[in-house]
Structure 1
């Protein structure tokens, strides 16, 4: 039995129109489902840089090891990376002679020293060259403690000076520079004055011989007078003028008074005998 024309038309419509639409909808949905994880993966934030690993690769392996062994310093460095940080890591050659002093510090002192080598701001080398003056460090602790150093620039040379050292540490190379992290290798350990004695001021240079005051002719020809009865200045002109005057009065004054007393007694005796 042959089908009716209406049934044949319905079958044709399903095969020619509805079936392709259903296939397209199915394939499109699966494509979107497959693309969703890829898009989510592309938008995932990048992991923060490992600052100690970067230091190690840049010639500061020993300093990076000290940071890794200090829980307080390591956690502070890792937290600072997200907000921006500039670290100054001493090279292995610079840190080696300082290690005996480092071992004598307490655990808190070691952490403070390590954190003293970084500032909580991202600085390119160019911006460092335009910033002269004191800077807070990660050891400053919100301003409740000092732990500041001073950046000084002479030409293209960036130097860091502290009150505990008479020589400045100089930036030798750029280890890493990508916002928000910058790391620079320095040729000396940064010593905070809060942990180490301040550097001694250099002694003033002696005055030239021509500028030195000359002794007077009287002083050169004068020989000190010996005083046997009491210790004191070797010469009268070694004491102030008013003291010399009083001394002369005290030495020469008693003789007339004793003579007058003796004379009066003699007169009285003679009168009694008469």
Structure 2
């Protein structure tokens, strides 16, 4: 009578183990996935690397400028740091950099870095955004109130241009090198010169005021010319002096030269008469 409960207990135990054994056989002996494994499977993919600004510049016709940025540790690190928060760069074309190299070589290392950072704004601007933005802008070279390093954006129609106080030339945006938030790169045709590194351009002298024309004589004045005023009478001539002058003139007429002139005239008259007789 006592063995029946033990047999029933053994049978119940087997019924519990049988499903477990079946599950283990079906799964090939592998343990069910844990919560840690599921969490790893649902982890997001790593974020893409930020764009390489200098590489993009090189591909867009600004290889010389990108090379200068790469050779300046301060400028390169500032560009890379600004990418995450948004940046708009204006890279001069290779021809523009080549023409500017003599001036660039005369700058100190700090001056070179400031010049390169002067070509970028710490804000992402589309081309449409630039066209609607007129006025001064801070650059990556700006450092509080002691280092302004600002340039002015001026737009005429669809043309975006940049002006500085140190140059007469206006840098014009020629093409879009790259535009994908948060980075925009535009090619310009002139190197931007900050007034902190170069002498400001002298303002042109104001044009002289026009000189007023001299008043013209009126026609009425031209018609009525001033009458001639008779000369004042000279001193009275003494009668005795006048008689003396007349006597002197008479003596001159009686001079020997006067008689010779009369004889020559008579001779010429006679010769003419003879010639006329011969001809007859």
Q: Fold conserved (TM > 0.5)?
A: yes
Tell me the C-alpha RMSD between the 2 structures.
2.8
* Residues 180-219 of structure 1 aligned to structure 2 (within 5 Å): 180-202=182-204, 212-214=211-213
Q: How many aligned residue pairs are there?
A: 209
Q: Which residue of 2 aligns with 1:28?
A: 33
> Secondary structure of 2:193's match?
coil
Q: Which whole-Å deviations, capped at 9, do the CAs of 1:131-173 have from their partners, x for residues lacking one?
A: 1000011111133212110001111111101111112111111
Cα drift, residue 201 of structure 1: 3.3
5+ long unaligned stretches in structure 2? 1-5, 217-280
Cα drift, residue 61 of structure 1: 0.9
Q: Which residue of 2 aligns with 1:7?
A: 10
Alignment TM-score, normalising by the size of structure 2? 0.66
5+ long unaligned stretches in structure 1? 218-274
Cα drift, residue 74 of structure 1: 1.0
Q: Distance in 2 between matches of 1:69 and 1:16?
A: 71
Q: Which residue of 2 aligns with 1:159?
A: 161
> Secondary structure of 2:31's match?
helix
**One of 165, 170, 173 as aligned partner of 2:172:** 170
Cα drift, residue 35 of structure 1: 4.8
> Secondary structure of 1:140's match?
coil
Q: 1:52 and 2:57 equivalent? A: no
Q: 1:39 to 1:62 in 2, by over 3 A?
A: farther
Q: Distance in 1 between matches of 2:48 and 2:38?
A: 20
**One of 136, 148, 151 as aligned partner of 1:149:** 151
Segment of structure 1 superposing worse, 46-55 or 164-173: 46-55
> Secondary structure of 1:28's match?
coil
**One of 92, 100, 103 as aligned partner of 2:102:** 100
Q: Distance in 2 between matches of 1:162 and 1:80?
A: 23
* Higher Rg of the two aligned structures: 2
- Considering fraction of residues, name the structure with more helix: 1
Q: 1:16 and 2:19 equivalent? A: yes
Q: Distance in 1 between matches of 2:117 and 2:134?
A: 20
* Residues 66-77 of structure 1 aligned to structure 2 (within 5 Å): 66-77=68-79
Cα drift, residue 10 of structure 1: 3.1
Q: Which whole-Å deviations, capped at 9, do the CAs of 1:89-140 have from their partners, x for residues lacking one?
A: 1111221111111011111111110010011111111111111000011111
Alignment TM-score, normalising by the size of structure 1? 0.67
> Secondary structure of 1:40's match?
coil
Q: Which whole-Å deviations, capped at 9, do the CAs of 1:25-53 have from their partners, x for residues lacking one?
A: 93332xx55554454351x3332221111
Cα drift, residue 213 of structure 1: 3.6
Q: Distance in 2 between matches of 1:200 and 1:38?
A: 67
